Amino acid sequence: MSSLITVGAQWGDEGKGKVVDLLAEKFDIVARYQGGHNAGHTVEIGQKRFILQLIPSGVLREGKKAVIGNGAVVDPEALLKEIDGLGKNGISVEGRLFLSNRAHLIFPYHGLLEKALENSPHRQSIGTTARGIGPTYEDKAGRRGIRVGDMEDESNFRCLMKAAFQEKRMALRACGGELSLDEDRLVKDYLNLCRRLRPMVVDTAVFLNHELDAGRSVLFEGAQGTMLDVDHGTYPYVTSSSSTAGGVCTGLGVAPTRISGVIGVSKAYTTRVGGGPFPTEDKTAAGELLRGRGKEFGAVTQRSRRCGWLDLPVLRYSAMINGLDSLIVTKLDVLDELDEIPVCTSYELDGSALQELPPQADRLERVRPVYQTLPGWKQSTFGVTQFHDLPPKAREYLEFIQGQMGLEISMVSTGPEREQTIVLPGTRLEKLLPGPLAPQ
Ligand code: GDP
Ligand code: IMO
Ligand code: MG
Protein backbone atom coordinates (compact mmCIF):
# COMPACT_ATOMS: atom_id res chain seq x y z
CA MET A 1 0.00 0.00 0.00
CA SER A 2 1.27 3.42 -0.86
CA SER A 3 -0.52 6.69 -0.36
CA LEU A 4 1.12 10.01 -0.88
CA ILE A 5 -0.04 13.57 -0.38
CA THR A 6 1.03 16.38 -2.70
CA VAL A 7 0.40 19.78 -1.22
CA GLY A 8 1.06 23.36 -2.31
CA ALA A 9 3.74 24.83 -0.06
CA GLN A 10 2.99 28.49 -0.83
CA TRP A 11 -0.14 30.45 -1.87
CA GLY A 12 -1.29 28.11 -4.63
CA ASP A 13 -0.41 27.79 -8.32
CA GLU A 14 2.90 26.12 -7.46
CA GLY A 15 2.60 23.74 -10.41
CA LYS A 16 0.74 20.98 -8.51
CA GLY A 17 -1.14 19.98 -11.68
CA LYS A 18 2.04 19.20 -13.57
CA VAL A 19 3.53 17.33 -10.61
CA VAL A 20 0.39 15.29 -9.93
CA ASP A 21 0.06 14.38 -13.60
CA LEU A 22 3.65 13.19 -13.53
CA LEU A 23 3.38 11.17 -10.32
CA ALA A 24 -0.08 9.79 -11.18
CA GLU A 25 1.55 7.39 -13.58
CA LYS A 26 2.68 5.36 -10.55
CA PHE A 27 -0.65 5.36 -8.66
CA ASP A 28 -3.96 3.59 -9.13
CA ILE A 29 -6.14 6.40 -7.82
CA VAL A 30 -5.84 10.18 -7.52
CA ALA A 31 -8.09 11.93 -5.00
CA ARG A 32 -9.02 15.55 -4.27
CA TYR A 33 -9.79 16.25 -0.61
CA GLN A 34 -10.84 19.90 -0.51
CA GLY A 35 -11.66 23.03 -2.46
CA GLY A 36 -13.81 23.33 -5.53
CA HIS A 37 -13.61 24.86 -8.97
CA ASN A 38 -11.64 27.75 -7.49
CA ALA A 39 -8.59 25.62 -8.28
CA GLY A 40 -6.91 25.73 -11.67
CA HIS A 41 -4.37 22.98 -12.26
CA THR A 42 -2.66 23.24 -15.62
CA VAL A 43 -1.24 20.20 -17.34
CA GLU A 44 0.50 20.47 -20.69
CA ILE A 45 0.82 17.31 -22.73
CA GLY A 46 2.31 17.88 -26.16
CA GLN A 47 0.17 20.41 -27.98
CA LYS A 48 -2.68 20.03 -25.49
CA ARG A 49 -3.24 22.20 -22.46
CA PHE A 50 -5.70 21.00 -19.83
CA ILE A 51 -6.94 23.10 -16.92
CA LEU A 52 -8.41 20.87 -14.23
CA GLN A 53 -10.58 22.62 -11.68
CA LEU A 54 -12.38 20.04 -9.56
CA ILE A 55 -11.46 16.79 -11.23
CA PRO A 56 -8.11 15.41 -10.02
CA SER A 57 -5.31 15.96 -12.54
CA GLY A 58 -4.51 12.23 -12.49
CA VAL A 59 -7.61 11.63 -14.62
CA LEU A 60 -5.56 12.51 -17.70
CA ARG A 61 -3.70 9.22 -17.29
CA GLU A 62 -5.55 6.39 -18.98
CA GLY A 63 -7.24 3.92 -16.66
CA LYS A 64 -6.51 5.82 -13.44
CA LYS A 65 -9.40 6.30 -11.06
CA ALA A 66 -10.22 9.78 -9.78
CA VAL A 67 -12.04 10.69 -6.59
CA ILE A 68 -13.68 13.94 -5.46
CA GLY A 69 -14.00 13.58 -1.71
CA ASN A 70 -16.41 14.77 0.96
CA GLY A 71 -14.14 17.72 1.81
CA ALA A 72 -14.62 19.23 -1.64
CA VAL A 73 -17.47 21.54 -2.63
CA VAL A 74 -19.22 20.86 -5.92
CA ASP A 75 -20.96 23.06 -8.43
CA PRO A 76 -22.67 20.35 -10.51
CA GLU A 77 -22.95 22.53 -13.60
CA ALA A 78 -19.24 23.40 -13.48
CA LEU A 79 -18.34 19.75 -12.87
CA LEU A 80 -20.37 18.54 -15.84
CA LYS A 81 -18.84 21.26 -18.00
CA GLU A 82 -15.40 20.07 -16.96
CA ILE A 83 -16.33 16.44 -17.73
CA ASP A 84 -17.67 17.46 -21.16
CA GLY A 85 -14.55 19.53 -21.86
CA LEU A 86 -12.36 16.53 -21.12
CA GLY A 87 -14.59 14.35 -23.30
CA LYS A 88 -14.11 16.72 -26.24
CA ASN A 89 -10.37 16.25 -25.79
CA GLY A 90 -10.66 12.48 -25.90
CA ILE A 91 -10.55 11.89 -22.12
CA SER A 92 -13.50 9.88 -20.88
CA VAL A 93 -14.11 9.75 -17.14
CA GLU A 94 -16.89 7.20 -17.42
CA GLY A 95 -16.65 4.48 -14.80
CA ARG A 96 -13.52 5.97 -13.22
CA LEU A 97 -14.62 9.23 -11.64
CA PHE A 98 -16.16 8.93 -8.18
CA LEU A 99 -17.94 11.74 -6.37
CA SER A 100 -18.64 11.72 -2.64
CA ASN A 101 -22.26 11.67 -1.56
CA ARG A 102 -21.15 13.78 1.42
CA ALA A 103 -19.59 16.60 -0.61
CA HIS A 104 -21.44 19.89 -0.24
CA LEU A 105 -23.19 21.49 -3.18
CA ILE A 106 -22.53 25.00 -4.42
CA PHE A 107 -25.70 26.84 -5.49
CA PRO A 108 -25.99 30.11 -7.44
CA TYR A 109 -27.06 31.89 -4.23
CA HIS A 110 -23.62 31.18 -2.78
CA GLY A 111 -22.11 33.23 -5.58
CA LEU A 112 -24.62 36.05 -5.00
CA LEU A 113 -23.81 36.09 -1.29
CA GLU A 114 -20.09 36.09 -1.96
CA LYS A 115 -20.44 39.01 -4.35
CA ALA A 116 -22.49 40.98 -1.83
CA LEU A 117 -19.92 40.33 0.92
CA GLU A 118 -16.91 41.08 -1.28
CA ASN A 119 -18.51 44.41 -2.26
CA SER A 120 -19.69 45.29 1.23
CA PRO A 121 -18.12 48.44 2.71
CA HIS A 122 -18.20 46.71 6.13
CA ARG A 123 -16.10 43.74 5.13
CA GLN A 124 -12.51 43.42 3.99
CA SER A 125 -12.48 42.17 0.40
CA ILE A 126 -10.47 38.92 0.05
CA GLY A 127 -10.19 38.93 -3.73
CA THR A 128 -11.82 35.52 -4.06
CA THR A 129 -12.29 33.55 -7.24
CA ALA A 130 -16.05 34.34 -7.04
CA ARG A 131 -17.05 30.69 -7.31
CA GLY A 132 -19.22 30.64 -4.17
CA ILE A 133 -16.64 28.58 -2.29
CA GLY A 134 -16.61 30.53 1.01
CA PRO A 135 -20.41 30.73 1.49
CA THR A 136 -20.73 27.00 0.70
CA TYR A 137 -18.21 26.07 3.41
CA GLU A 138 -20.01 28.51 5.72
CA ASP A 139 -23.22 26.55 5.20
CA LYS A 140 -21.35 23.31 5.81
CA ALA A 141 -19.93 24.52 9.13
CA GLY A 142 -23.31 26.11 9.95
CA ARG A 143 -24.98 22.69 9.53
CA ARG A 144 -27.38 23.97 6.91
CA GLY A 145 -25.54 22.86 3.78
CA ILE A 146 -27.04 20.60 1.12
CA ARG A 147 -24.97 17.63 0.07
CA VAL A 148 -24.67 15.63 -3.14
CA GLY A 149 -26.46 12.68 -1.47
CA ASP A 150 -29.41 14.93 -0.57
CA MET A 151 -30.48 15.03 -4.23
CA GLU A 152 -31.30 11.29 -4.10
CA ASP A 153 -34.68 11.89 -2.50
CA GLU A 154 -36.56 14.52 -4.52
CA SER A 155 -39.07 15.54 -1.85
CA ASN A 156 -36.39 15.84 0.81
CA PHE A 157 -34.29 17.92 -1.59
CA ARG A 158 -37.24 20.25 -2.25
CA CYS A 159 -37.70 20.74 1.52
CA LEU A 160 -34.04 21.54 2.02
CA MET A 161 -34.12 23.99 -0.87
CA LYS A 162 -37.21 25.71 0.51
CA ALA A 163 -35.47 26.32 3.82
CA ALA A 164 -32.29 27.43 2.05
CA PHE A 165 -34.18 29.93 -0.11
CA GLN A 166 -35.88 31.46 2.91
CA GLU A 167 -32.63 31.82 4.74
CA LYS A 168 -30.64 33.14 1.79
CA ARG A 169 -33.34 35.67 0.97
CA MET A 170 -32.88 37.15 4.44
CA ALA A 171 -29.10 36.88 4.34
CA LEU A 172 -28.92 38.69 1.01
CA ARG A 173 -31.31 41.42 2.14
CA ALA A 174 -29.15 41.95 5.21
CA CYS A 175 -26.20 42.80 3.01
CA GLY A 176 -28.15 44.96 0.59
CA GLY A 177 -28.76 42.32 -2.10
CA GLU A 178 -31.79 40.49 -3.45
CA LEU A 179 -32.33 36.80 -4.15
CA SER A 180 -33.19 37.04 -7.82
CA LEU A 181 -33.47 33.31 -8.46
CA ASP A 182 -36.47 31.17 -9.34
CA GLU A 183 -36.61 28.43 -6.71
CA ASP A 184 -38.64 26.00 -8.79
CA ARG A 185 -36.39 26.40 -11.81
CA LEU A 186 -33.28 25.91 -9.71
CA VAL A 187 -34.60 22.75 -8.05
CA LYS A 188 -35.50 21.29 -11.46
CA ASP A 189 -32.12 22.22 -12.92
CA TYR A 190 -30.23 20.65 -10.01
CA LEU A 191 -32.29 17.47 -10.14
CA ASN A 192 -31.50 17.20 -13.85
CA LEU A 193 -27.82 17.77 -13.26
CA CYS A 194 -27.96 15.19 -10.48
CA ARG A 195 -29.32 12.59 -12.88
CA ARG A 196 -26.14 12.87 -14.90
CA LEU A 197 -23.92 12.78 -11.85
CA ARG A 198 -25.71 9.90 -10.12
CA PRO A 199 -23.65 7.04 -11.66
CA MET A 200 -20.48 8.45 -10.13
CA VAL A 201 -21.85 9.16 -6.64
CA VAL A 202 -20.55 6.82 -3.93
CA ASP A 203 -19.37 6.90 -0.34
CA THR A 204 -15.80 7.78 -1.31
CA ALA A 205 -14.43 7.05 2.20
CA VAL A 206 -15.66 3.47 1.95
CA PHE A 207 -14.42 3.23 -1.63
CA LEU A 208 -10.92 4.53 -0.83
CA ASN A 209 -10.48 2.44 2.30
CA HIS A 210 -11.51 -0.71 0.41
CA GLU A 211 -9.10 0.14 -2.38
CA LEU A 212 -6.29 0.66 0.14
CA ASP A 213 -7.22 -2.66 1.81
CA ALA A 214 -6.88 -4.32 -1.57
CA GLY A 215 -3.34 -2.93 -1.93
CA ARG A 216 -4.15 -0.14 -4.36
CA SER A 217 -2.09 3.06 -4.23
CA VAL A 218 -3.56 6.53 -3.83
CA LEU A 219 -2.16 9.96 -4.63
CA PHE A 220 -3.87 12.81 -2.79
CA GLU A 221 -3.95 16.04 -4.77
CA GLY A 222 -4.08 19.25 -2.77
CA ALA A 223 -5.64 22.35 -4.23
CA GLN A 224 -4.69 25.91 -3.21
CA GLY A 225 -1.69 25.96 -0.87
CA THR A 226 -0.58 25.95 2.75
CA MET A 227 -0.79 29.72 3.14
CA LEU A 228 -4.39 29.65 1.89
CA ASP A 229 -5.47 27.05 4.48
CA VAL A 230 -8.39 28.29 6.57
CA ASP A 231 -6.58 27.46 9.84
CA HIS A 232 -2.90 27.74 9.03
CA GLY A 233 -2.84 30.31 6.24
CA THR A 234 -2.78 34.09 6.23
CA TYR A 235 -6.26 34.40 7.73
CA PRO A 236 -8.61 36.02 6.75
CA TYR A 237 -6.95 36.15 3.32
CA VAL A 238 -7.38 32.44 2.77
CA THR A 239 -9.73 30.02 1.11
CA SER A 240 -12.34 28.30 3.27
CA SER A 241 -11.02 24.74 3.28
CA SER A 242 -8.18 22.73 4.86
CA SER A 243 -5.67 22.72 2.05
CA THR A 244 -2.80 21.41 4.19
CA ALA A 245 -1.94 17.71 4.52
CA GLY A 246 -4.26 17.29 7.53
CA GLY A 247 -7.20 18.00 5.22
CA VAL A 248 -6.74 14.60 3.59
CA CYS A 249 -7.94 12.73 6.69
CA THR A 250 -11.13 14.73 7.16
CA GLY A 251 -11.67 15.51 3.48
CA LEU A 252 -11.55 11.88 2.38
CA GLY A 253 -12.07 9.77 5.48
CA VAL A 254 -8.61 8.24 5.16
CA ALA A 255 -6.90 7.92 8.53
CA PRO A 256 -3.41 9.35 9.24
CA THR A 257 -2.16 5.79 9.83
CA ARG A 258 -2.88 4.99 6.18
CA ILE A 259 -0.78 7.80 4.74
CA SER A 260 2.79 7.03 3.69
CA GLY A 261 4.19 10.49 3.11
CA VAL A 262 3.78 14.13 2.14
CA ILE A 263 5.42 16.00 -0.72
CA GLY A 264 5.41 19.80 -0.94
CA VAL A 265 5.39 21.69 -4.20
CA SER A 266 6.98 25.14 -4.38
CA LYS A 267 7.92 27.47 -7.16
CA ALA A 268 11.55 28.62 -7.29
CA TYR A 269 10.07 32.03 -6.39
CA THR A 270 6.66 33.03 -4.97
CA THR A 271 3.33 34.19 -6.34
CA ARG A 272 0.00 35.03 -4.81
CA VAL A 273 -3.32 35.95 -6.38
CA GLY A 274 -5.92 37.95 -4.47
CA GLY A 275 -5.48 40.13 -1.40
CA GLY A 276 -3.46 39.61 1.76
CA PRO A 277 0.09 39.82 3.09
CA PHE A 278 2.95 38.79 0.82
CA PRO A 279 6.26 39.76 2.48
CA THR A 280 8.56 39.06 -0.49
CA GLU A 281 6.34 40.67 -3.14
CA ASP A 282 8.40 42.61 -5.69
CA LYS A 283 6.51 45.45 -7.30
CA THR A 284 9.47 46.58 -9.40
CA ALA A 285 10.58 45.57 -12.89
CA ALA A 286 12.09 42.36 -11.45
CA GLY A 287 8.66 41.22 -10.25
CA GLU A 288 7.28 42.14 -13.65
CA LEU A 289 9.95 39.97 -15.26
CA LEU A 290 8.88 37.00 -13.12
CA ARG A 291 5.26 37.59 -14.14
CA GLY A 292 6.16 37.78 -17.83
CA ARG A 293 8.54 34.82 -17.95
CA GLY A 294 6.41 32.71 -15.59
CA LYS A 295 3.18 33.62 -17.45
CA GLU A 296 1.75 34.41 -14.04
CA PHE A 297 -1.88 34.94 -14.89
CA GLY A 298 -4.60 32.96 -13.12
CA ALA A 299 -5.67 29.75 -14.84
CA VAL A 300 -9.26 30.25 -13.60
CA THR A 301 -9.81 33.97 -13.26
CA GLN A 302 -7.08 35.25 -15.63
CA ARG A 303 -6.10 37.68 -12.88
CA SER A 304 -2.52 38.83 -12.86
CA ARG A 305 -0.61 37.04 -10.08
CA ARG A 306 1.46 39.06 -7.63
CA CYS A 307 5.11 37.98 -7.90
CA GLY A 308 8.07 37.96 -5.54
CA TRP A 309 11.02 36.01 -4.19
CA LEU A 310 11.33 32.67 -2.53
CA ASP A 311 10.28 32.96 1.08
CA LEU A 312 12.07 30.42 3.29
CA PRO A 313 10.15 31.31 6.49
CA VAL A 314 6.96 30.42 4.58
CA LEU A 315 8.48 27.20 3.24
CA ARG A 316 9.83 26.16 6.67
CA TYR A 317 6.40 26.80 8.17
CA SER A 318 4.83 24.78 5.39
CA ALA A 319 7.31 21.93 5.99
CA MET A 320 6.28 21.91 9.65
CA ILE A 321 2.51 22.13 9.18
CA ASN A 322 2.47 19.46 6.47
CA GLY A 323 5.30 17.30 7.81
CA LEU A 324 6.95 17.42 4.40
CA ASP A 325 9.16 14.48 3.48
CA SER A 326 10.45 16.12 0.37
CA LEU A 327 10.18 19.24 -1.73
CA ILE A 328 9.56 19.59 -5.46
CA VAL A 329 10.75 22.88 -6.93
CA THR A 330 9.01 24.10 -10.07
CA LYS A 331 9.58 26.85 -12.65
CA LEU A 332 13.34 27.08 -12.13
CA ASP A 333 13.62 28.19 -15.78
CA VAL A 334 11.69 31.37 -15.00
CA LEU A 335 14.76 32.67 -13.12
CA ASP A 336 17.14 32.07 -16.06
CA GLU A 337 17.66 35.70 -17.07
CA LEU A 338 18.24 37.25 -13.66
CA ASP A 339 21.62 38.73 -12.69
CA GLU A 340 20.97 37.99 -9.06
CA ILE A 341 18.24 36.28 -7.10
CA PRO A 342 17.19 37.41 -3.62
CA VAL A 343 15.97 34.71 -1.25
CA CYS A 344 14.25 35.65 2.00
CA THR A 345 15.92 33.74 4.83
CA SER A 346 14.17 35.33 7.83
CA TYR A 347 11.83 38.12 8.92
CA GLU A 348 12.24 41.11 11.17
CA LEU A 349 9.41 42.96 12.83
CA ASP A 350 9.89 46.33 14.53
CA GLY A 351 13.66 45.78 14.51
CA SER A 352 13.63 42.31 16.09
CA ALA A 353 14.12 38.94 14.43
CA LEU A 354 10.94 36.91 14.22
CA GLN A 355 11.12 33.23 15.09
CA GLU A 356 7.64 32.36 13.95
CA LEU A 357 5.16 33.52 11.35
CA PRO A 358 2.77 35.95 13.05
CA PRO A 359 -0.86 34.77 12.89
CA GLN A 360 -2.17 38.31 12.37
CA ALA A 361 -2.35 39.43 8.75
CA ASP A 362 -1.51 43.03 9.67
CA ARG A 363 1.67 41.93 11.47
CA LEU A 364 2.74 39.74 8.56
CA GLU A 365 2.04 42.72 6.31
CA ARG A 366 4.57 44.74 8.31
CA VAL A 367 7.45 42.23 8.49
CA ARG A 368 10.72 43.13 6.83
CA PRO A 369 12.12 40.22 4.83
CA VAL A 370 15.86 39.65 5.33
CA TYR A 371 17.37 38.62 2.01
CA GLN A 372 20.42 36.72 0.96
CA THR A 373 21.22 37.45 -2.65
CA LEU A 374 22.47 34.62 -4.80
CA PRO A 375 24.06 35.02 -8.21
CA GLY A 376 21.93 34.25 -11.26
CA TRP A 377 23.10 31.75 -13.88
CA LYS A 378 22.09 33.73 -16.99
CA GLN A 379 21.69 30.61 -19.05
CA SER A 380 18.70 28.57 -20.16
CA THR A 381 17.59 25.72 -17.94
CA PHE A 382 14.39 25.24 -19.92
CA GLY A 383 13.70 21.56 -20.44
CA VAL A 384 16.84 20.32 -18.64
CA THR A 385 16.30 16.75 -17.38
CA GLN A 386 19.55 16.00 -15.51
CA PHE A 387 20.77 17.76 -12.39
CA HIS A 388 24.37 17.72 -13.64
CA ASP A 389 23.31 19.50 -16.84
CA LEU A 390 22.13 22.54 -14.87
CA PRO A 391 24.47 25.56 -14.79
CA PRO A 392 26.58 25.41 -11.57
CA LYS A 393 24.87 28.51 -10.15
CA ALA A 394 21.43 26.98 -10.66
CA ARG A 395 22.59 23.90 -8.76
CA GLU A 396 23.95 26.18 -6.02
CA TYR A 397 20.57 27.92 -5.83
CA LEU A 398 18.79 24.60 -5.29
CA GLU A 399 21.43 23.37 -2.84
CA PHE A 400 21.08 26.63 -0.90
CA ILE A 401 17.32 26.07 -0.53
CA GLN A 402 17.88 22.47 0.50
CA GLY A 403 20.51 23.46 3.08
CA GLN A 404 18.43 26.30 4.52
CA MET A 405 15.35 24.08 4.76
CA GLY A 406 17.05 20.95 6.00
CA LEU A 407 14.79 19.18 3.52
CA GLU A 408 15.63 17.28 0.37
CA ILE A 409 14.60 18.46 -3.07
CA SER A 410 13.46 15.39 -4.96
CA MET A 411 12.38 16.91 -8.26
CA VAL A 412 12.96 20.09 -10.19
CA SER A 413 10.64 21.25 -12.92
CA THR A 414 12.22 23.11 -15.83
CA GLY A 415 9.20 23.57 -18.07
CA PRO A 416 5.45 22.89 -18.18
CA GLU A 417 5.67 19.53 -19.95
CA ARG A 418 6.00 16.13 -18.29
CA GLU A 419 9.43 15.43 -19.68
CA GLN A 420 10.82 18.83 -18.64
CA THR A 421 11.64 17.50 -15.21
CA ILE A 422 14.72 16.53 -13.22
CA VAL A 423 14.11 13.52 -10.96
CA LEU A 424 16.85 13.31 -8.36
CA PRO A 425 17.98 9.81 -7.48
CA GLY A 426 17.98 8.23 -4.02
CA THR A 427 15.41 10.55 -2.45
CA ARG A 428 12.65 9.89 0.06
CA LEU A 429 10.15 10.56 -2.71
CA GLU A 430 11.62 7.68 -4.68
CA LYS A 431 11.06 5.41 -1.67
CA LEU A 432 7.51 6.67 -1.19
CA LEU A 433 6.45 5.96 -4.77
CA PRO A 434 4.94 2.57 -5.56
CA GLY A 435 7.59 2.09 -8.26
CA PRO A 436 10.26 3.96 -10.22
CA LEU A 437 9.09 6.79 -12.43
CA ALA A 438 9.37 5.81 -16.07
CA PRO A 439 11.32 8.18 -18.31
CA GLN A 440 8.71 10.61 -19.66
P1 GDP B 1 -1.32 24.64 -9.80
O2 GDP B 1 -2.57 25.38 -9.47
O3 GDP B 1 -0.43 24.45 -8.61
O4 GDP B 1 -1.57 23.34 -10.51
O5 GDP B 1 -0.50 25.55 -10.81
P6 GDP B 1 -1.10 26.34 -12.07
O7 GDP B 1 -1.40 25.36 -13.13
O8 GDP B 1 -2.18 27.26 -11.65
O9 GDP B 1 0.12 27.27 -12.44
C10 GDP B 1 1.36 26.76 -12.79
C11 GDP B 1 1.70 27.20 -14.22
O12 GDP B 1 3.06 27.00 -14.45
C13 GDP B 1 0.97 26.40 -15.29
O14 GDP B 1 0.70 27.23 -16.38
C15 GDP B 1 1.99 25.32 -15.67
O16 GDP B 1 1.83 24.86 -17.01
C17 GDP B 1 3.27 26.09 -15.53
N18 GDP B 1 4.45 25.30 -15.15
C19 GDP B 1 4.53 24.25 -14.30
N20 GDP B 1 5.82 23.88 -14.12
C21 GDP B 1 6.57 24.71 -14.87
C22 GDP B 1 7.96 24.88 -15.07
O23 GDP B 1 8.78 24.18 -14.49
N24 GDP B 1 8.35 25.89 -15.90
C25 GDP B 1 7.48 26.71 -16.53
N26 GDP B 1 7.96 27.67 -17.30
N27 GDP B 1 6.15 26.60 -16.35
C28 GDP B 1 5.70 25.62 -15.53
P1 IMO C 1 -4.82 26.29 -7.12
O2 IMO C 1 -5.35 24.96 -6.69
C3 IMO C 1 -4.15 30.47 -6.05
C4 IMO C 1 -7.21 32.38 -3.58
C5 IMO C 1 -8.06 33.49 -4.16
C6 IMO C 1 -8.32 34.34 -2.93
C7 IMO C 1 -8.47 33.30 -1.83
C8 IMO C 1 -9.91 32.93 -1.51
O9 IMO C 1 -4.90 26.54 -8.58
O10 IMO C 1 -3.47 26.52 -6.54
P11 IMO C 1 -11.76 31.49 -2.78
O12 IMO C 1 -12.40 31.67 -4.12
O13 IMO C 1 -11.08 30.18 -2.62
O14 IMO C 1 -12.69 31.78 -1.63
O15 IMO C 1 -10.62 32.65 -2.70
O16 IMO C 1 -7.78 32.14 -2.29
N17 IMO C 1 -7.21 31.11 -4.32
C18 IMO C 1 -6.18 30.65 -5.03
N19 IMO C 1 -4.98 31.21 -5.31
N20 IMO C 1 -4.42 29.22 -6.48
C21 IMO C 1 -5.60 28.63 -6.19
O22 IMO C 1 -5.87 27.35 -6.47
C23 IMO C 1 -6.56 29.36 -5.46
N24 IMO C 1 -7.81 29.10 -5.02
C25 IMO C 1 -8.20 30.17 -4.31
O26 IMO C 1 -7.38 34.19 -5.17
O27 IMO C 1 -7.19 35.10 -2.64
MG1 MG D 1 -3.63 27.03 -10.10
The domains found in the chain, sorted by start residue, are 3-100+203-432 (3.90.170.10), 104-199 (1.10.300.10)
Of 13, 28, 75, 282, catalytic: 13
Report pLDDT digits (tens) over 381-440: 999 999 999 999 999 999 999 999 999 999 999 999 999 999 999 999 999 999 888 755
Residue 199 per-residue DSSP state: G
Q: What is the mean pLDDT of residues 250-258?
A: 98
Residue 30 near residue 24, CB atoms below 8 Å: yes
Rounded Cα–Cα distance for residues 374 and 343 (Å): 7
Please determine, for residue 1, whether its predicted confidence score (pLDDT) is greater than 70: no
pLDDT score of 207? 98
Please name every residue paired with 176 in a beta bridge, in sequence order, or none if there are none. none
238 CA → ligand 3 middle, Å: 14
| Single-letter code of the amino acid located at 133 | I
* Model confidence band, residue 39 (pLDDT cutoffs 50, 70, 90): very high
Clarify whether 41 is annotated catalytic.
yes
Hey, whose CA ends up nearest to atom 28 of ligand 1? Answer: 416
Please determine, for residue 295, whether its predicted confidence score (pLDDT) is greater than 60: yes
Geometric angle at alpha carbon 331, from 330 and 333, rounded to 5° = 135
Hey, whose CA ends up nearest to atom 14 of ligand 1? Answer: 42
Tell me which ligand sits closest to the C-alpha of residue 42: 1
pLDDT score of 439? 59
pLDDT score of 175? 84
Q: Which of 7, 330, 409 to mutate to test the pocket of ligand 1 (most atoms within 8 A of CB)?
A: 330
Atom of ligand 1 at shortest distance to CA of 298? 8
Report pLDDT digits (tens) over 299-357: 888 999 999 999 999 999 999 999 999 999 999 999 999 999 999 999 999 999 998 99
110 CA → ligand 1 middle, Å: 29
Q: Is residue 131 within 6 Å of ligand 2 at its C-beta? A: yes
Rounded Cα–Cα distance for residues 317 and 405 (Å): 10
Report pLDDT digits (tens) over 133-147: 999 999 999 999 999
For 362, the 3-state DSSP assignment is: helix
Please determine, for residue 211, whether its predicted confidence score (pLDDT) is greater than 80: yes
Report pLDDT digits (tens) over 84-120: 999 999 999 999 999 999 999 999 999 999 999 999 8
pLDDT score of 437? 82
pLDDT score of 351? 94
Of 21, 28, 41, 110, catalytic: 41
Range scoring the smallest mean pLDDT among 21-25, 92-96, 122-126, 202-206: 122-126
Q: Is residue 239 within 6 Å of ligand 2 at its C-beta? A: yes
pLDDT score of 322? 98
Task: Spell 35-60 as b/e; 16+ CB within 10 A means b.
Answer: bbbbbbbbbbbeeeebebbbbbbbbb
Geometric angle at alpha carbon 27, from 402 and 66, rounded to 5° = 115
Burial of 350 (0-12, 13-18, 19+ CB in 10 A): exposed
How far is it between the farthest Cα atoms of the chain? 67
Q: Which of 32, 38, 55 to mutate to test the pocket of ligand 2 (most atoms within 8 A of CB)?
A: 38
Tell me which ligand sits closest to the C-alpha of residue 41: 1
Whether omega for the bond prior to residue 439 falls within 30 degrees of 0, making it cis, is: no
Please determine, for residue 28, whether its predicted confidence score (pLDDT) is greater than 90: yes
Q: What is the mean pLDDT of residues 220-227?
A: 98
Burial of 214 (0-12, 13-18, 19+ CB in 10 A): exposed
* Among candidate residues 4, 25, 21, 28, the one with its CA nearest the CA of residue 432: 4
